[in-house]
Structure 1
Amino acid sequence: MKPTYVKGLRWWIIGLVMLGVVLNYLDRSALGVAMPTLSKELNISTKEYSYIVAAFQGAYMVMQPLAGHLLDILGSRLGYAVFAVVWSIACILHGLATGWLSMGIYRVLLGLSESAVIPASMKVVAEWFPDKEKSVATGWFNSGTSIGAMIAPPMVVWCILTFSWQVAFVITGGLGLIWVGVWLFAYKDTKAHPRLDPAELEYITSGQASDRNKADKTKTPWRALLSNRNLWALMTSRFLVAPAWATFTFWIPIYLSTVRGMSLKEIALFAWMPFLAADLGSIVGGYLCPFFMNKCKVSLITSRKLVVLIGSLLMFGPACIGLAADKYTAVVLFCIGGFAHQALSGALITLASDVFPKSDVATASGWTGSAAWLGQALFSLVIGAAVGKIGYDPLFVCLAFFDVLASIILWKMIPSTQSANSVLAHQAN
């Protein structure tokens, strides 16, 4: 019997990946939405909340390089499933917290397991898409980060008002376990998937740079990887831009509540909007790269750099939140920031698949992600310590300058026509 192929299967696969990212970010965003309630019921202060956030970010930071390495060993199918099971259970355990310390412990477990989501997703993109479509695929799955954060406010508030805050964590975590079952049923590697048309497989593999395909079976030692100039450029850039997204994800509900005086219901009505804008930023940023390549005749790497530059300049929108006359204008400026950050973030994340072989993509993504989460953890601690003294406004201004500096470093350190593979090969000889 002739096998039944699914037309454009790679796009169905990235849709499944995007759903996993949505649930991942729903789990991590639930705490920020529930904090106005938890601060009263569990007596958690703003400073203690910053410790909880930093515990998650620190665990995420430490684990990401190891998670990426494990994913390169286990493969996309099994590796993604294992980590998703653990992060879903960790989210459910949040409902057992009795204070900031126990909540911090559960957040550590969540951070250790959720650290795999971006390296795993990038590994799937590297395996399933030709080079010219990688930024688009990354834009679509990266939109899941903001979709998850966007649906968290109404869903978590509804659970709290209808049931309890404990049930909110059980429901959000339970959805991840359902996704794992779907993932194991539907996902196979490109060469083993019975529904992948051979013509589509040829289109994918023929569109990937030959140097990366040749290096596919040989993993680069960590020592050689960590001596790569391009890796350090990506790590430094992500270290600088990551605090913006952490601030939006973990602090927008608190800011709108304490500074702008929004009620829990108003937070449910408005706190999701910046993440809707972030969805658009992810998708538009993904399509901007091939647009620049086709219309401006620039290289693949330059197209990524241009998206990062545009996004970093737009970040001056949220830098002006302190000048906003009312809470609705503040939400609009947050929306500009969400759009800008996710557009530039998608380009940065995709660069790992552009300049590293498929066998090293998850590991390289893990190292750059670790740098990003170090930046997030440090900035969260700064917010917790400084917001009571200087307020949020100077911190929002810092985020814009961090992004511009990241763009400058990217343009200076990564050659627009040279891949990291050639650097690695040179170092190996």
Structure 2
Amino acid sequence: MWPDLFKLMVEGFDINIKVKNLRWYIIALVCLGTIVNYLSRSSLSIAAPQVMSDLNFTEKEYSWIVSAFQICYTIAQPIAGYIIDMIGLKVGFFIFAIAWSLFNMAHAFAGGWVSLAFLRGGMGLTEAAAIPAGMKASAEWFPAKERGIAGGLFNAGTSVGAMLAPPLVVWAMLTFENSGLGTEMAFIITGGVGILFAITWYLIYRSPAKHSWLTKKELDYIEQGQEKHLVANDGKPAIKEILKQRNFWGLAIARFLADPAWGTLSFWMPLYLTSVMHLPLKEIAMFAWLPFLAADFGCVAGGFMAKFFMEKLHMTTLNARRTSFTIGAILMLAIGFVSIVKDPYVAIALMSVGGFAHQTLSTVVITMSADLFKKNEVATVVGLAGSAAWIGQLSFTLVLGALVAIIGYGPFFISLSIFDVIGAVVLWVLLKEPASQTVAHCQMKKATAAAY
């Protein structure tokens, strides 16, 4: 029994079956991982009032706890991406998922705000692996024309996880309230879900070339639809060489300019609707989730747009992505009008357009990491650019917090409306089409059409 169990854990489910369109089931598994990631991440914010009361600390200490996560997450993204590129996606993501789940469960045993801040920092260090891992999976399992759709699907899990957290955490708190372990069980349950996902991931995931469930027809379709010049080599990711490339800095600058919009929607929108628009709390609960629903649709819209441009307009992969990003940037102009409208529902509608536009262009620019870098560099590049994105978000948040009482929200919404237009210009100016991509473009179209 035990030798068989050990073999199962090491090799996974190598049963003799073939699954049609396996790549979509794999990306669904990755999406589940991002859902679990954001479920764990959001658990503290839902339980925060009770935790603050139980451990006797104030909003000031809570802000330090939140900052510990944000700082560690920013620092860890390139490190997590590098580790995943080095040791492989299957083992790497498994280790990080186990680690963030254990840190989450350990919240139940925190004795004060200092220990809680330490645990949140640990979660920041480990949860930073989710987006680099998801993008690496998209790079391995999908041809170029479908890669943006796959990236959007797994990225949509971030919003789903955030939406699932409130009912699950509140249910746990109410169910175990009489035992005095309500908040503790909320963390243990959400952490336990992460452990179950990690085990499932390890048993099921393998690269396309090693997956026994994959049909030869689908493997040929994936390989023939990918750029031959981006095949992984045997070396480790060369961070110094990556940082010397203009393509990297184009992606990093665009993400630095794009991410403040998401931070504003996530952390400042409810406060804006309350303090400026004077919207009652009940109505905020009824309508403030709409921008995030729109964002879910935006996650996949960019991928479908790029696929359309590649198939119908015969654009190269890079130009299709840049065009999709530019369309998203133009749509982002809508959020600037929030600064002048007086109706709160119009403001929410405009922010919903902004949420859709942001996730459209954000998913596109993250996907470009797989379009421009070798497969053994993708997670590292996504992590490095992700740090730039979070630095942009943190910087904008600090400036907004310092000046909003003096100049109001208007200038900040106007800034958000033009940041991505600047980002689009950066992508068109800085990104360089790989020399072999233009030639390979025509060959790839013929090969993929013949394979499927």
TM-score (norm 2): 0.83
Partner of 1:233: 250
Instruction: Report the residue type matching 1:273 in the other structure.
Output: L
- SS at structure 2 position matched to 1:147: helix
Partner of 2:443: none
Measured after TM superposition, the shift of residue 145 of structure 1 is 1.7
Structure-2 change in CA distance of 1:378 and 1:170 (3 Å)? farther
1:321 equivalent in alignment to 2:338: yes
Partner of 1:140: 153
| Aligned residues of 2:86 and 2:236 also touching (Cα < 8 A) | no
Task: Provide the C-alpha distance between the structure 1 equivalents of 2:346 and 2:117, rounded to a whole number of angstroms.
Answer: 33
Task: Look at both structures and tell me which one has the larger radius of gyration over its CA atoms.
Answer: 2
5+ residue gaps in structure 1?
A: 423-429
Partner of 1:384: 401
Task: Provide the C-alpha distance between the structure 1 equivalents of 2:343 and 2:112, rounded to a whole number of angstroms.
Answer: 34
Measured after TM superposition, the shift of residue 259 of structure 1 is 4.8
Post-superposition CA distance 1:174-207 (Å, at most 9, x none):
3222211211222122222121112211211121
Structure-2 change in CA distance of 1:39 and 1:257 (3 Å)? farther
Task: Provide the C-alpha distance between the structure 1 equivalents of 2:319 and 2:378, rounded to a whole number of angstroms.
Answer: 20
The worse-fitting range, judged by mean Cα deviation, of 223-232 and 96-105 is 96-105
| Aligned residues of 2:19 and 2:213 also touching (Cα < 8 A) | yes
Partner of 1:336: 353
Instruction: Report the residue type matching 2:96 in the other structure.
Output: F
Structure-2 change in CA distance of 1:87 and 1:259 (3 Å)? farther
Post-superposition CA distance 1:281-333 (Å, at most 9, x none):
01111101011223333221111111111112222333333434344333322
Partner of 1:350: 367
Partner of 1:78: 91
Question: How many residue pairs are counted as aligned between the two chains?
Answer: 419
What root-mean-square deviation, in Å, do the aligned CA atoms of Structure 1 and Structure 2 show? 2.9
- SS at structure 2 position matched to 1:358: coil
5+ residue gaps in structure 2?
A: 1-14, 440-452
The worse-fitting range, judged by mean Cα deviation, of 255-264 and 285-294 is 255-264
| Aligned residues of 1:54 and 1:378 also touching (Cα < 8 A) | no
Instruction: Give the one of 354, 370, 391 matched to 1:374.
Output: 391
The worse-fitting range, judged by mean Cα deviation, of 264-273 and 228-237 is 264-273
| Aligned residues of 1:151 and 1:272 also touching (Cα < 8 A) | no
1:191 equivalent in alignment to 2:209: yes
The worse-fitting range, judged by mean Cα deviation, of 32-41 and 408-417 is 32-41
Post-superposition CA distance 1:44-75 (Å, at most 9, x none):
43x66554443322211211111111001121
Structure-2 change in CA distance of 1:160 and 1:89 (3 Å)? same
Task: Provide the C-alpha distance between the structure 1 equivalents of 2:273 and 2:191, rounded to a whole number of angstroms.
Answer: 26
Aligned-residue sequence identity (percent) comes to 45
1:29 equivalent in alignment to 2:47: no
Partner of 2:137: 124
Measured after TM superposition, the shift of residue 21 of structure 1 is 0.8
Instruction: Report the residue type matching 2:431 in the other structure.
Output: I
Partner of 2:419: 402
Measured after TM superposition, the shift of residue 416 of structure 1 is 4.2
1:204 equivalent in alignment to 2:222: yes
| Aligned residues of 2:74 and 2:390 also touching (Cα < 8 A) | yes
Please list every run of at least 4 consecutive aligned residues from structure 1 whose deviation after the TM superposition is greater than 6 angstroms.
36-41
| Aligned residues of 1:154 and 1:268 also touching (Cα < 8 A) | no
| Aligned residues of 1:307 and 1:347 also touching (Cα < 8 A) | yes
Measured after TM superposition, the shift of residue 211 of structure 1 is 1.1
Post-superposition CA distance 1:21-62 (Å, at most 9, x none):
1121233234445557667775543x6655444332221121
Instruction: Report the residue type matching 1:290 in the other structure.
Output: K
| Aligned residues of 2:143 and 2:224 also touching (Cα < 8 A) | yes
| Aligned residues of 1:243 and 1:379 also touching (Cα < 8 A) | yes
Measured after TM superposition, the shift of residue 96 of structure 1 is 5.0
Partner of 2:261: 244
The worse-fitting range, judged by mean Cα deviation, of 395-404 and 202-211 is 395-404
Task: Provide the C-alpha distance between the structure 1 equivalents of 2:166 and 2:348, rounded to a whole number of angstroms.
Answer: 14
Task: Provide the C-alpha distance between the structure 2 equivalents of 1:6 and 1:138, rounded to a whole number of angstroms.
Answer: 21
Instruction: Report the residue type matching 1:270 in the other structure.
Output: F
Measured after TM superposition, the shift of residue 172 of structure 1 is 3.0
Partner of 1:89: 102
Instruction: Report the residue type matching 2:212 in the other structure.
Output: P
Instruction: Report the residue type matching 1:104 in the other structure.
Output: A
Partner of 1:427: none
| Aligned residues of 1:32 and 1:251 also touching (Cα < 8 A) | no
Partner of 1:426: none
- SS at structure 2 position matched to 1:315: helix
Measured after TM superposition, the shift of residue 242 of structure 1 is 1.2
Task: Provide the C-alpha distance between the structure 2 equivalents of 1:326 and 1:363, rounded to a whole number of angstroms.
Answer: 44
TM-score (norm 1): 0.87
| Aligned residues of 2:72 and 2:125 also touching (Cα < 8 A) | yes
Post-superposition CA distance 1:143-175 (Å, at most 9, x none):
112222333345445556665555444433332
Instruction: Report the residue type matching 1:111 in the other structure.
Output: G
Partner of 2:197: 179
Structure-2 change in CA distance of 1:264 and 1:181 (3 Å)? farther
Task: Provide the C-alpha distance between the structure 2 equivalents of 1:243 and 1:72, rounded to a whole number of angstroms.
Answer: 28
| Aligned residues of 2:36 and 2:194 also touching (Cα < 8 A) | yes
- SS at structure 2 position matched to 1:191: helix
Instruction: Report the residue type matching 1:14 in the other structure.
Output: I
Measured after TM superposition, the shift of residue 360 of structure 1 is 0.9
Structure-2 change in CA distance of 1:341 and 1:165 (3 Å)? farther
Measured after TM superposition, the shift of residue 248 of structure 1 is 2.2
Instruction: Give the one of 289, 308, 311 matched to 1:272.
Output: 289
| Aligned residues of 1:149 and 1:272 also touching (Cα < 8 A) | no
Post-superposition CA distance 1:347-392 (Å, at most 9, x none):
0000000010111111111111111111122223223333344443
Task: Provide the C-alpha distance between the structure 1 equivalents of 2:408 and 2:139, rounded to a whole number of angstroms.
Answer: 42
Measured after TM superposition, the shift of residue 99 of structure 1 is 6.2
- SS at structure 2 position matched to 1:110: helix
Instruction: Report the residue type matching 2:228 in the other structure.
Output: S
Partner of 1:3: 16
